[in-house]
Structure 1
Amino acid sequence: MTTDADLHAQSLVPPSDVLRAQAIVSPEEAARLKALPPTEYWARVAAELQWDQPWTQVLDGKLGDFRYFVGARGNVSVNCLDRHAAATPERVALHYEREDGLTETWTYARLTTETARFAAALQDLGVEKGDRVSLLLSNIPEAFVAIQACYRIGAIYSVIFAGFSAAAVRDRLEDARPKVVIVADGTLRRGKVVELKSVLDEARRGVGSIEHVIVIDRLGLCHLLQPDELDYAEVMARTARLAEPVMLEANEPGFIIYTSGTTNKPKGLVHAGLGFLVGTYANVKWSLNLRPDDRYWCTADVGWLVVPIFALVGGLAGGASQVLYEGSIDTPSPSRPYELIEKYGVNKVFTAPTALRMLRRAGQDALAGHDPSGVDLISLVGEPLDPETWHWTTDTFGAFVNNTYGQTETGTAWASAIVGVTPTRPGACGEALPGYRAEVVDETGKPVSAGQLGVLTLTEPFPCLARTVWGDPQRYLDTYFSDFPGRYASADAALIDVDGQLWVTGRVDDVMNVSGHRIGTMELEAALITHPAVSEAAVVAQPDELRGAVPVAFVVPRAGITSSDSLKAELAEAIVGGVGKYARPAAVYVVPTLPRTRSGKIMRRLLRDLLEHGEVRGDLSSLENPDALDVVQSHLRD
């Protein structure tokens, strides 16, 4: 049993004075909101948004089959764009910058007009409510235009990550069966041109549903279009009409987002458009407290759900002025994030722990000549945050670090500090926000005690929870509701400490039973990260006949550190000293890189595959750096 050990014993960190002065509720009011029945809370949130028709019932049904705001009608784009364009048309919506220095400025007025015009163009091509539109785009302003245009006319959109192979793109096209595909000709990544149109050309062969492809010329790569292909600029130039928003029922589907599978094909999770709006609007309010005078940067890729939550829907619904960056944030140098923060006066950032570890690894040379002290808040999601990186971030930026937790399925980072109001603990994910009911349970579904490791579940419906799997409703029920009937099962291992702080240690299959001790990988990795030679660490379980499982550690060293037997021995002792003798790793591999997703998550399941089978099995579509597999495999053979 994992208890409230040293890893979770760090002091609670209160909000900074700056954020406390900006808080929109008092601690007492926050407590009252958390205590409200979820239906009453969500009705209060929804009332702050603009509706064409009110609901007749807040909630109908239960987890696995429910509807929120029954009968209500509205439009996402109206809430994200029109109402801001009417009140403050010249407020900047997007400060766009590309890796090579190209910049653009988009006001709310411009973004709203372009969205309405493109929505009309889609209608002129025959796109109607319920039709699917797929997008293969990078972080460009047209991605915001295209997605909001789909919301405007009720088309169901699906963003396909720009780093996918043609085979992965094809899987998603065959599943969604889009009528129209929108693609950029290419994007930049670490100084190299990534051709997106050519990937689509290969992927779309034989997908008969596609009637039109709209090509956005960003890099001048497309000189000859096929008969069913249209140039975005030409389409916009010939479209004078601005589409009126189509009013949709609150539970009608808004978009499909695919999660990578392990052995099965990717799941197309369906989110309700207006339910997602309500959830993300509240999420941004609590996890960022965005204000009209904030300059805010969400560093994620548009193909990752963080962007719709915290930028494209939640961020715009909150009326923020945002930085949109296309490319790798450490290009042309590791100083680039600091340069962008200073250039645009960024005071709030949403990013991933991996990005912070990248900055930390770059060291003081990258920071030289820059002053990041204008950043008041750094919120995070994506993977466990080690306490050392938490402390480095607070020391470097002087900002409050708000680590959050959520999933593609939940549509929000539902565990978080309420910015300016509630404390956090280094490495934890805050507390369940108002409107959510979370419990950690054992294998039988019984709630466990504070500090005990188990499976994280949610016990009540909420508006932004994915409603089904596209084309396969039984898979939805089997995946999320069969293990613990009456609960949504996250498949994440977690504990809630005595102060209510959530600690997510990884996927359930990342929890290992070593000689009768259940332990999550986060505690082992945290012990490694404290060693001065370690930049990043991943620990996975290897089956063992005697002990059940044994830990195996993969470590990326800091610059200038080389592998040696003595270093490996030191790292093994770091785990023993931080966790206990029973957790001594069977092996420590010092490697220059690890397999990761574009969003920076280390893909531990691939490391397990290499250990157990000598090869990778399952879906590789989200792998950012395939060469890392060969690198790791070569170290395993040595």
Structure 2
Amino acid sequence: MVIPQHIQDKMYHPPDDLRRDAHVPNFNSYLSLYKKSLENPEAFWKEVAEEFFWEKPATGPMLQYNFDVTKGNIYVKCMEGAKTNMCYNVLDRNVKENNLAEKIAYYWEGNSPDHHMAITYSDLLKQVCRCANVLKEMGVKKGDRVAIYLPMIPELVYTMLACTRIGAVHSIVFAGFSSESLCERITDAQCSILVTADGVYRGEKLINLKQIADEALEKCRDKSSPAVTKCLVVKHHATTTKSGVACNKLQTPWDPECDVWWDEAMRDTPEDCEPEWLDAEDPLFILYTSGSTGKPKGVLHTVAGYMLYTSLTFKYVFDHHHDDVYWCTADIGWITGHSYITYGPLANGATSVIFEGIPVHPHAGRFWEIIEKYNVTKFYTAPTAIRLLMKYGKEPLLKYDLSSLRILGTVGEPINPEAWHWYHEVVGQGRCPVVDTFWQTETGGHVLTPLPAATPLKPGSATFPFFGVEPTILNEHGEELEGEAEGYLVFRRPWPGIMRTVYRNQERFENTYFKKFPGFYVTGDGCRRDKDGYYWITGRIDDMLNVSGHLMSTAEVEAALTEHAAVAEAAVVSRPHTVKGECLYCFVTLKDHREFNHSLAEELKGLVRERIGPIATPDFIQNAPALPKTRSGKIMRRVLRQIARNESDLGDLSTLADPKVVEVLFSQRCQATS
């Protein structure tokens, strides 16, 4: 992994002051640490673990694992025998041992600039303990699952940390998902408690979250799943008024047997709660991610390994220092929010911004306004957001002082070079390195990423592996490819923060990630390695879509479409989108005598929104009298993707049962409704 000098000379290098203060100041330092992490992982991760409190030390090695399905069950264990508590380490340790009681943990910025607050580490600890006591009064015990369906408000962080404090397992559901999606996740995780809010504004739109939550609980009852016994409801103060309209316009549905107002439950609750000491491999949380079969997978992460990995990746990838103000614009309902809004930053005693709103409300300069307001130094957002803001040009940025910025980051999808250059040159004013991070819900934290002072950058490349991560590229036959190559991105060994299983489905865990290439963790992504050793993510290899940085299952969308009485069959593919990166292009085959028209297309879009959520709304729906299939009946999605992109080079069609189907689809492409 040696970069020739003539190549380095053409790359972006960070300013000298960043290098001087950096935890990893140059590429040779990176190589030295990386070598140690692979050759002596026991010593490497032990040093990281020494930063934390352990009620009981480990009795086993730092990492034990089996990645080869031919040798028995797949497993990963970290610090077996140790006991600790995540909440204690990110709060009590900072308040009592690191003297950070009065340091700001979070600046919360609401949907409206008028709604904001600062929360110290001491405040956070008190609120978390009170919430933990409320959950215990509701009967929550170690190992119980708690569903959280909240917008980006402080109560979301209070609740997830309260769960970790008492050993409960939180399952956070993005508050933009539909009642059906929420029901599915509550049912699969067998949650006994739901925490939600009465409503939330997204821009100008007021959404009745409690109504959606009630619909989800009703669906759970219809499926005869174990009932949620209590629903804890936050009266979201950011929704109390909007242009003088009171929040009671929501007409919040209420069941006194089940529903409890947050404020009433918390009012007289003690501010002290002893932590539950957990085994290193006890479950920490379940987070659902889309699966290629259509049913979301409950990715399970455990306490110790996830704590070590999110802490270290946050510290090094964002080169965190005590005086930084860090802002990740993600929603905590996704893994980015878990790892890099909550656990990673708090483990480092960081000051962070939590943002509830959307990038262009109430004006196109909202992001830049917040950066100036809080003197943000490290800024982490999605390429989708960058492309959206590019449309408004430089003008909104020029109104604000962005000189506090030192490091920029991207997450969720590969960033295209045009957006990278705009981000670097316009937002970062040519002086801030851009860390383009690749990782997954399953990996727990960054696995391919630049380090801001150490890694010469190539726009669009995730560059090199993080410590302890050993990537390689395989061809379809499982053969390793050396040097410059393109194929399947896989990993040889685990790192502490990798997922442990799919909740209640070890077989699916092994089949999804380890069966295709025994001995390797399979990411499902394609990857290219250039002649200098840099890694470039080329996109999903399986039937998955990446819409606005959020992974989505084509099977899940197809299942929703085929619920409509008029639809006999559906196939969904991706189509490039200037803002989202990818959007959904749907082909639907109708039942006999049904007419395809704009009204039907709108019904289908509405059905997908209802079943999955607004983020899954198709951009295009095309009538398909028939779908291109092989003689064995398999839909040729490769062909559909080319049609969706209006590309006439369809490759080999010899295996198609009826090649004329393709001609018909091409001729009708212009009639696709958008």
Relative to the length of structure 2, the TM-score reads 0.77
Distance 1:268 1:554 in 2: 27
394 and 224 in structure 1: CA distance in 2 versus 1, 3 angstrom threshold: same
Q: Deviations over 1:370-400 (max 9, x none)?
A: 2323211111111111111111111112221
Distance 1:411 1:10 in 2: 34
50 and 496 in structure 1: CA distance in 2 versus 1, 3 angstrom threshold: farther
Is the Cα–Cα contact under 8 Å of residues 450 and 495 in structure 1 kept in the other structure?
A: no
Q: Deviations over 1:24-50 (max 9, x none)?
A: 134344322201233432222222222
Which residue among 165, 176, 180 is the counterpart of 1:167? 180
1:71 aligns with 2:50: no
Which residue among 310, 316, 324 is the counterpart of 2:340? 310
377 and 124 in structure 1: CA distance in 2 versus 1, 3 angstrom threshold: same
76 and 371 in structure 1: CA distance in 2 versus 1, 3 angstrom threshold: same
Moved more, 611-620 or 283-292: 611-620
Equivalence for 1:621: 612
Distance 2:258 2:588 in 1: 47
Three-state SS of the structure 1 residue aligned to 2:485 is coil
Equivalence for 2:560: none
Moved more, 381-390 or 616-625: 616-625
Q: Deviations over 1:83-105 (max 9, x none)?
A: 22221211111111111221111
Distance 2:368 2:588 in 1: 38
Is the Cα–Cα contact under 8 Å of residues 382 and 601 in structure 1 kept in the other structure?
A: no
Which residue among 228, 237, 244 is the counterpart of 1:210? 228
Is the Cα–Cα contact under 8 Å of residues 380 and 402 in structure 1 kept in the other structure?
A: yes
1:180 aligns with 2:213: no
344 and 622 in structure 1: CA distance in 2 versus 1, 3 angstrom threshold: same
Equivalence for 1:34: 34
Three-state SS of the structure 1 residue aligned to 2:403 is coil
Query: Deviation of residue 52 (structure 1)?
Result: 1.4
Three-state SS of the structure 2 residue aligned to 1:417 is coil
Query: Deviation of residue 601 (structure 1)?
Result: 5.7
Equivalence for 1:637: 672
Cα-Cα RMSD: 2.8
Query: Deviation of residue 209 (structure 1)?
Result: 3.2
Equivalence for 1:20: 19
Equivalence for 2:467: 434
Distance 1:99 1:347 in 2: 22
Distance 1:81 1:416 in 2: 28
Three-state SS of the structure 1 residue aligned to 2:31 is helix
Is the Cα–Cα contact under 8 Å of residues 385 and 427 in structure 1 kept in the other structure?
A: yes
Q: What are structure 1's unaligned runs of at least 5 residues?
A: 1-7, 512-520, 523-539, 541-551, 558-593, 595-599
Q: What are structure 2's unaligned runs of at least 5 residues?
A: 1-6, 68-73, 240-246, 547-553, 555-572, 591-595, 597-603, 623-643, 645-667
Q: How many residues align?
A: 551
Amino acid at match of 1:502: Y
Distance 1:492 1:627 in 2: 23
Three-state SS of the structure 2 residue aligned to 1:105 is strand
Amino acid at match of 1:347: T
Residues 65-214 of structure 1: pairs in structure 2 closer than 5 A: 65-86=75-96, 87-101=99-113, 102-205=115-218, 206=221, 207-214=225-232
232 and 459 in structure 1: CA distance in 2 versus 1, 3 angstrom threshold: same
Q: Deviations over 1:44-70 (max 9, x none)?
A: 222222211111222233232121111
Distance 1:329 1:387 in 2: 21
User: Percent sequence identity over matched residues?
Assistant: 33
389 and 612 in structure 1: CA distance in 2 versus 1, 3 angstrom threshold: farther
Amino acid at match of 1:54: P
Q: Deviations over 1:526-570 (max 9, x none)?
A: xxxxxxxxxxxxxx9xxxxxxxxxxx995657xxxxxxxxxxxxx
1:60 aligns with 2:59: no
Residues 234-253 of structure 1: pairs in structure 2 closer than 5 A: 234-240=264-270, 242-253=272-283
Is the Cα–Cα contact under 8 Å of residues 257 and 270 in structure 1 kept in the other structure?
A: yes
1:232 aligns with 2:262: yes
Is the Cα–Cα contact under 8 Å of residues 404 and 415 in structure 1 kept in the other structure?
A: yes
Amino acid at match of 1:151: T
Residues 289-438 of structure 1: pairs in structure 2 closer than 5 A: 289-396=319-426, 397-398=428-429, 399-438=432-471
291 and 626 in structure 1: CA distance in 2 versus 1, 3 angstrom threshold: same
337 and 103 in structure 1: CA distance in 2 versus 1, 3 angstrom threshold: same
Three-state SS of the structure 1 residue aligned to 2:161 is helix
Three-state SS of the structure 1 residue aligned to 2:288 is strand
Is the Cα–Cα contact under 8 Å of residues 85 and 276 in structure 2 kept in the other structure?
A: yes
Distance 1:379 1:261 in 2: 27
Query: Deviation of residue 177 (structure 1)?
Result: 1.1
Equivalence for 2:661: none
Equivalence for 1:277: 307
Three-state SS of the structure 1 residue aligned to 2:79 is strand
Query: Deviation of residue 442 (structure 1)?
Result: 0.8
Query: Deviation of residue 635 (structure 1)?
Result: 5.2
Which residue among 582, 602, 616 is the counterpart of 1:602? 582
Is the Cα–Cα contact under 8 Å of residues 78 and 304 in structure 2 kept in the other structure?
A: no
Which residue among 45, 48, 51 is the counterpart of 2:51? 48
Query: Deviation of residue 369 (structure 1)?
Result: 1.7
Is the Cα–Cα contact under 8 Å of residues 129 and 270 in structure 2 kept in the other structure?
A: no
Three-state SS of the structure 2 residue aligned to 1:602 is strand
Distance 1:601 1:623 in 2: 16
Amino acid at match of 1:371: D
307 and 556 in structure 1: CA distance in 2 versus 1, 3 angstrom threshold: closer
Equivalence for 2:662: none
Distance 2:359 2:511 in 1: 39
555 and 313 in structure 1: CA distance in 2 versus 1, 3 angstrom threshold: closer
637 and 630 in structure 1: CA distance in 2 versus 1, 3 angstrom threshold: closer
Distance 2:325 2:363 in 1: 23
611 and 346 in structure 1: CA distance in 2 versus 1, 3 angstrom threshold: farther
Three-state SS of the structure 2 residue aligned to 1:432 is coil
